[in-house]
Amino acid sequence: MSLGFLAWRHAWSHPVRSLLTVGAVSVAVFLVCFLRSIVTSLDAAVTASASNRIVVGSAVSLFQSLPIAYRTTVGEMEGVEDVCSYTWFGGRYQSESNFFAQFGTDPEHMMRMWPEVVMPAEQKRDFVDDRQGCIVGRTLADQFGWKIGDTVPLIGTIYRRHDGAEWTFNIRGIYRSTKANVDEVTLFFHWDYLNEVLERGDADGPRGTSVLMVKIAPGYTPEDVSLRIDDHYAAGPQRTRTQPEAAFQASFISMLGNLPVFLGSIGAAVLVALFFGVVNTMTMAARERTRSMGILGALGFGREAPLRLYLLEAALLVGLGAAIGLLLAWGSQDTFRRLLGTQIPMYHVTTDTMVASGVVALVIAFLAGGIPAFQAARLRAAEALRRGA
Amino acid sequence: MPRPERGETMVRLDGVTKIYTKGGVELVVLDRLDLDVKAGSFVALMGPSGSGKSTILNLVGGLDIPDEGSVTVGGVDVDALSPDELSAWRAANVAYVFQAFNLIPVLTAEENVELPLLLTPLSRAQRREQARFALEIVGLADRMDHRPKQLSGGQEQRVAIARALAMDPEVMLCDEPTGDLDRASADQVLGLLRRLVDEHGKTILMVTHDPQAGEVADRIVKLDKGTVLVEGAEA
């Protein structure tokens, strides 16, 4: 037996109360982990962005297309190693609730410029060779049960076919992403295929491309190349706004408002509520155990004994709850990646988040256990026995 | 603590005054009280409620400090010890037996007896052995896995005595140990305390209202209003 054992027995002397406390801590820690992970997952897309890539878009709006001729012109500019177009397709798969992103792109350029998109070589080749082919992220494939060779029918909302038919794409590859700046819930297809249908007059929709991604040649800085591109198109026909890939990613996050502050406020409120809950539990426990603390004093235990017992008890309850909350947060990543889908496609719980949440929980345990502990430590044994009688 | 020989003074209260303040009113619980208790003797403290009996036990055990006078146990000036020294001294030399038994409800009988032994350098196995031995002395070896709720009042008090015995203290302070027991259980407990004095040389100070309990003691000290009213001769 030890004081730790006694603290454990004390902690479970009221199993329902203890279970409720553990449950409350679990939920709170899980929630704090979840909220923080949303912020870190969004940030990760920014921090993981390549420093040698820039994104060229319309200076008017992201929803304004650039002429496709820009792809060639930009590709020939000094300091540009490669360029790739990305055109937002906005198709609907079966129903509106199945929303995911689709982009028309230049497959060979995309493969060269995005080493973080990983696929077997034969799948890359099949994608490049099939004009109607596409690749999908593995999370997206898992979500809809797609496999190589399947056909994905999309109803065009921006690009509508005159015959009312669906656009169909053949899955030639399922990619995974090695970095947070590329999600695994997107479908990429040949821009050329889209353009051909438009050129034939079989469908309506904006011509051009949404953005161009540019890879900077060695020896050139993104700032210089960005300036060169924007200067070149300063007089039109469509003015451009060129920014680093990280800034481009960040602009999507800023569309959500000041999310970190908003989520941080909720997280802080959860922690404050948790703190009061644990203080309440520990204060009730301390009141019930005044006599036991007097007994320990009468047996010869020093004043640090109640201090250690209450802190241990709080640490046990909060520690157990925190462990469950952390396990839930860790174990539910796949589920949340699926549920949050296109909003936060690369949702993940970092080790830093787990450690920070665990430390915050233990600090709360220390404070919540410390209040009754210090009160008990100040009480003389004789007084504790009298009060507890 | 040097161990006085049987018959030498073990406990001495010299001009002890203790005042409690409650609701702004001062209450003199002990008034310049003098008391000597010999080693290896069994002294019963009797008197009406509020006469200061339990306060004497608290002072002898160092749970409380006198406002005036001194308390000496085995030659050690108890009120001169620091809180840490007092805890260590108490653990090694004094044990309490309370009217309400004061066992820790979440621990078994064996664990309750083992509890004070955590303060010693004994190994876990040694602690358990000593706890079981103490439970055997009080005749409860077969109840060691029972929690206090599963024991009768008499058995709980015997576990409390075993816990007191486990540390092999010089002085046992018993605060109405039979107050919550029926006659048969009370006689059993009193017999056990008597045996601890006779066979193990313990010094016992027992607060009691029970005249029959007083008869088991070597000497009865009657208190009233914080002073010694009648002091019986050592048997």
Q: What is the pLDDT of residues A94-135, one digit of tens each?
A: 887 788 889 999 998 998 888 888 999 999 999 999 999 999
Q: Where are the alpha helices (DSSP H) in chain A?
A: 3-11, 15-47, 69-75, 107-113, 121-129, 138-144, 191-200, 222-232, 245-254, 259-288, 290-299, 304-331, 333-340, 351-378, 381-388
In this predicted structure, which of A84-93, A178-187, A222-231 has the lowest mean pLDDT?
A: A178-187
Domain borders along chain A are 3-45+258-388, 60-238
DSSP B13: E
List the strands of the sheet with B9-22, edge to edge. Answer: B25-38, B9-22, B68-73, B76-77
Q: How far is CA B21 from CA A256, B18, B24, B28, B69, in A?
A: 64, 10, 6, 9, 18
Facing residue for A299 by CB, picked from B89, B91, B127: B91
Is some CB atom of chain B closer than 8 A to the CB atom of A287? no
Per-residue pLDDT at A389: 59
End-to-end CA distance of chain A, in Å?
Answer: 26
- Between CA A100 and CA A109 the distance in angstroms is 23
> What is the chain B residue with the closest CA to A289?
B104
Name the percent of chain A lying above pLDDT 90. 25
Q: In the predicted model, is pLDDT for residue A298 greater than 90?
A: no
CB A13 to CB B105 under 8 A?
A: yes
CB B91 to CB A3 under 8 A?
A: no
CB A6 to CB B105 under 8 A?
A: no
Mutate to test the interface with B, among A295, A313, A385 (most CBs of B within 10 A): A295
Per-residue pLDDT at B235: 47
Q: In the predicted model, is pLDDT for residue A387 greater than 80?
A: no
- Between CA B61 and CA A299 the distance in angstroms is 10
Contact (Cβ atoms closer than 8 angstroms) between residue A209 and residue A85: yes
CB A1 to CB B111 under 8 A?
A: yes
- Between CA A216 and CA B41 the distance in angstroms is 98
Residue B199 belongs to what H/E stretch? helix B183-200
At residue A342 the predicted structure's pLDDT band, cuts being 50, 70 and 90, is low
Per-residue pLDDT at A268: 86
Per-residue pLDDT at B72: 93
Per-residue pLDDT at B56: 92
Is some CB atom of chain B closer than 8 A to the CB atom of A349? no
**What is the number of helices (H) and of strands (E) in chain B?**
7, 10
Query: Stretch A136-164: mean pLDDT, rounded?
Result: 90
Residue that the structure tokens 């190589």 belong to? A148
Q: In the predicted model, is pLDDT for residue A344 greater than 60?
A: yes
At residue A313 the predicted structure's pLDDT band, cuts being 50, 70 and 90, is confident
With a CB cutoff of 8 Å and minimum separation 6, the contacts of B194 are: B42, B216
Q: How far is CA A267 from CA A214, A340, A357, B221, in A?
A: 39, 19, 10, 65
> What is the chain A residue with the closest CA to B93?
A300
Per-residue pLDDT at B231: 65
Q: Cβ contacts (< 8 Å) between A316 and chain B: which residues? A: none
Taking a contact as any Cβ pair under 8 Å apart, which residues of chain B between 116 and 145 contact chain A? 116, 118-119, 124, 127
Q: What is the pLDDT of residues A43-64, one digit of tens each?
A: 777 777 777 888 998 888 777 8
- Both tokens of B216, joined, read 């088991």
Q: In angstroms, what separates the C-alpha of B19 from chain A's closest C-alpha?
A: 14
Measured N-to-C along each axis, helices B124-137 and B153-166 cross at an angle, to the nearest 10 degrees, of 130
Query: Stretch A340-368: mean pLDDT, rounded?
Result: 83
Q: pLDDT tens digits, chain B, 235 residues: what are they?
A: 566 777 788 999 999 999 988 778 888 889 899 999 999 999 999 988 888 888 999 899 888 889 999 999 998 998 888 888 888 888 888 888 887 788 998 999 999 999 989 988 889 999 999 899 889 888 888 999 999 999 988 888 889 888 988 888 889 999 888 887 788 888 888 888 898 899 888 999 999 988 888 888 999 999 887 777 666 655 4
Q: Where are the alpha helices (DSSP H) in B99-148?
A: 109-114, 124-137
Query: Stretch A131-152: mean pLDDT, rounded?
Result: 91
Using left for φ > 0, alpha for ψ between -120 and 50, and beta otherwise, residue A114 falls in: beta
Facing residue for A9 by CB, picked from B106, B116, B119: B106
Is some CB atom of chain B closer than 8 A to the CB atom of A1? yes
Taking a contact as any Cβ pair under 8 Å apart, which residues of chain B between 189 and 218 contact chain A? none
At residue A257 the predicted structure's pLDDT band, cuts being 50, 70 and 90, is low
The yes or no reply on domain B9-101+169-231 and CATH 3.20.20.150 is no
Total length of chain B: 235
> What is the chain A residue with the closest CA to B83?
A302
The mean predicted confidence, pLDDT, of chain A is 86
Facing residue for A303 by CB, picked from B83, B118, B127: B83
Facing residue for A300 by CB, picked from B104, B105, B116: B116
CA angle, corner B155, sides to B151 and B157, nearest 5? 115
Burial (Cβ within 10 Å: 0-12, 13-18, ≥19) of residue A63? exposed
- Both tokens of A188, joined, read 């990429």
Q: In the predicted model, is pLDDT for residue A379 greater than 80?
A: no
Residue that the structure tokens 């997952």 belong to? A41
- Between CA A187 and CA A140 the distance in angstroms is 8
Facing residue for B63 by CB, picked from A301, A303, A380: A380
Pairs of CB atoms within 8 A across A/B = 72
Residue that the structure tokens 């026995």 belong to? A385
